Chain A
Amino acid sequence: NAGVMQNPRHLVRRRGQEARLRCSPMKGHSHVYWYRQLPEEGLKFMVYLQKENIIDESGMPKERFSAEFPKEGPSILRIQQVVRGDSAAYFCASSPSGTGGNTIYFGEGSWLTVV
C-alpha cells in the first residue's frame, strides 16, 4: 500500500510564475490536507478537502493560492504569481475519513524554491 505520494519533490520557479503541486492520497483515503512549512517555522494548516469539495480553507492565503481535489486524479495545490515568500515545503496528508481518531498520514513533501 503506497503512502501519500507528492510530486514534484523539488520545484524551482521564478517570481511571477505558477507552481502546481500534486498529491495522491493513500489508497482508500478520501480526505486530503495541505500544510506549509516555512523556513524556521512550524507546519501550518492550509486547507482540507474531500473529493470535489473544499471543507476548510481557513489557513489558505486569500490571494494566489487555490486547491482542488477532483473526482478523478490527484489533489492539486496551485500557487499563482509566486513570490520569494512562497518558498517553503508543502506537505500533503490524507486520512480515511475526517472524523474520529484517525491517524493522519503525511507525504514526503514538495520543496518550492522561488528565485
Chain B
Amino acid sequence: KQEVTQIPAALSVPEGENLVLNCSFTDSAIYNLQWFRQDPGKGLTSLLLIQSSQREQTSGRLNASLDKSSGRSTLYIAASQPGDSATYLCAVRPDGSSNTGKLIFGQGTTLQVKP
C-alpha cells in the first residue's frame, strides 16, 4: 500500500531564506508526482508535476526533484517570501492508476515565512 510522508509537518523561516520540503513514498512504482500549495480555507493550486521519467522540474523560484528509486522528492523554494506561507502538499499517482487519476497525498508541510 502506497504511503506518502512529508517532513517536517511545520516550518517557520525568516524571509529570504532558501528552504527544502521533503516528501517520501513507500512504493517506487509511481506514474508521476505533483506538488500543490493550499492556502487556509482554499483549494489546491498545482505547482509542479514531475513524470516518473523526469528528475526535476522548475518554475520560477520553485524547483522539485524526484528520485524514484529511493522514493523521495524535494521541493526547493529559493529566496522565500511571506507570500509563500501556505501548506505544501505532495501527491503521487501510483503506477497502474494512470487511467484513474487517483492521487495519494501526504499530510503536508505548513510553511510560515516571517517578514
Binding site for B on A (CB under 8 A): 4, 6, 31, 33, 35, 41-45, 48, 55-56, 58-59, 91, 93, 95, 98-109, 111
Q: Are the C-beta atoms of B101 and A42 separated by less than 8 Å?
A: no
Residue of A42, A58, A109 near B106 (CB, 8 A) is A42
Binding site for A on B (CB under 8 A): 4, 31-32, 34, 36, 41-46, 49, 51, 89, 91, 97-108
Tell me, rounded to whole Å, the shortest Cβ–Cβ distance linking B74 to chain A: 19
Residue of A45, A95, A100, A109 near B43 (CB, 8 A) is A109
CB-CB < 8 A to A93: which residues of B? 44, 101
Q: Considering the chains assembled together, what is the distance between the CA atoms of A11 and B38 in angstroms?
A: 20
Tell me, rounded to whole Å, the shortest Cβ–Cβ distance linking A49 to chain B: 10
Which of B32, B91, B103 gathers most chain A CB within 10 Å? B103
Q: Are the C-beta atoms of A45 and B104 separated by less than 8 Å?
A: yes
Residue of A95, A99, A106 near B44 (CB, 8 A) is A106
Instruction: Say whether, besides A48-B100, A91-B44, A101 and B36 are in contact (CB < 8 Å).
Output: no
